[in-house]
Chains A and B, each alone.
Chain A
């Protein structure tokens, strides 16, 4: 399979990249590692006229503590995040979840900005990010703005990102020793999750239970009013709208959401107890 023809632009600064986005608008797609975009280009599900390769822009790959938050450069590859000492100490759910993406070769290429921009409801890192809370920092011709992760993913392959905006960084709260877990159910080792649940600090997010990654709000509310993990997890699929495919029907996905939420919450509680 070969992608459709396109013009290839390789900006060396964020400003140049945004200028290219302004010039080409909807005809352009931004590529970092290319591990979400290239596969759909090869299937001709995406046929951008212009590919803007941002992978050579310096300074887009980092993990650093800034106040109460951890800032992660959009160009940070999964492999880097997986092994990053700051991330492991300050927000351990992220490096662990990064280690669950695809396989080593995929993690050597894919970036956090790319998976956030792609808005696939079955993506690992967006699920963990949604459980963490935090913001996506984007830049356009008129400067930067911050979009809460709760508002960023708007539908299957749809985000709050404007045509002329580029994701610059992801900011998440430092969770330190708070308990966390990411529970992923796959059919094969390197697959996307059929369903996954991320839990951290009383918040729970689910992969593949709707058109976007979603919070398990009924579970979170139950936990907030003091329900047991078993009671709260039993509500995990409330308000979700999972799809059905050859691997799992809706009822099975609902079952997985409840089960994986319970496992994630139990693991997170155990982790918090161990750290205390």
Chain B
């Protein structure tokens, strides 16, 4: 079947099998490898991307279900000049990563947390990220990064491509 999606601001059409998962579509069809596949069972959140303004786990969405949607992956966050998104910046400044495997999903989920709540408490960040696992257990700095990004302003809760992350 044919699907047409806007991925990181660029519209594209592809012929896909109905059973193709969005995570595989992004990685293998679009070549966007930032979206990691960790557990493959909707638990770890490494494959989190934003679809039509809401964070989703792309291992549990069919590319067919995302037909007609706007999808933002980690690659779509930085500006054309390479300027990092406020959430990326905060993760770097606060050392919100160790091995880095969970980071793309963590950053995308964190944008969703700040979209929902522009000034989240420590506990609210932790609850908002309950669907994302860091197996290095580097949570403290991740929480610090999210709070620091939120303090920097509302852009931390937005993706660049035309739509705000929905509340």
Chain A interface residues toward B at CB < 8 A: 1-8, 10, 31, 34-35, 38-39, 41-42, 51, 53, 55, 79, 83, 102-106, 108-109, 189-190
Contacts and interface: CB of A to CB of B under 8 A. Distances in A.
Interface stretch (B4-12, B39-47, B81-89, B147-155): B39-47
B99 interface: no
A105 B19 contact: no
A104 B60 contact: no
B41 A108 contact: no
Contacts of A34: 60-62, 65
B131 A102 contact: yes
Contacts of B1: 8
B93 interface: no
Contact of A1 (B40, B61, B65): B40
A102 B132 CA distance: 11
Contact of B54 (A7, A10, A42, A108): A108
B109 interface: yes
Contact of B42 (A4, A10, A35, A83): A35
B4 to A, nearest CB: 13
B92 interface: no
25 contacts: A2-B21, A3-B19, A5-B19, A8-B18, A10-B64, A39-B42, A39-B60, A42-B40, A42-B60, A51-B18, A55-B65, A79-B54, A102-B131, A103-B45, A103-B130, A103-B132, A104-B109, A104-B116, A105-B55, A106-B42, A108-B56, A189-B127, A190-B43, A190-B130, A190-B131
Given A2-B21, A8-B1, A53-B64, 5 more contacts: A2-B19, A3-B19, A34-B65, A38-B61, A104-B128
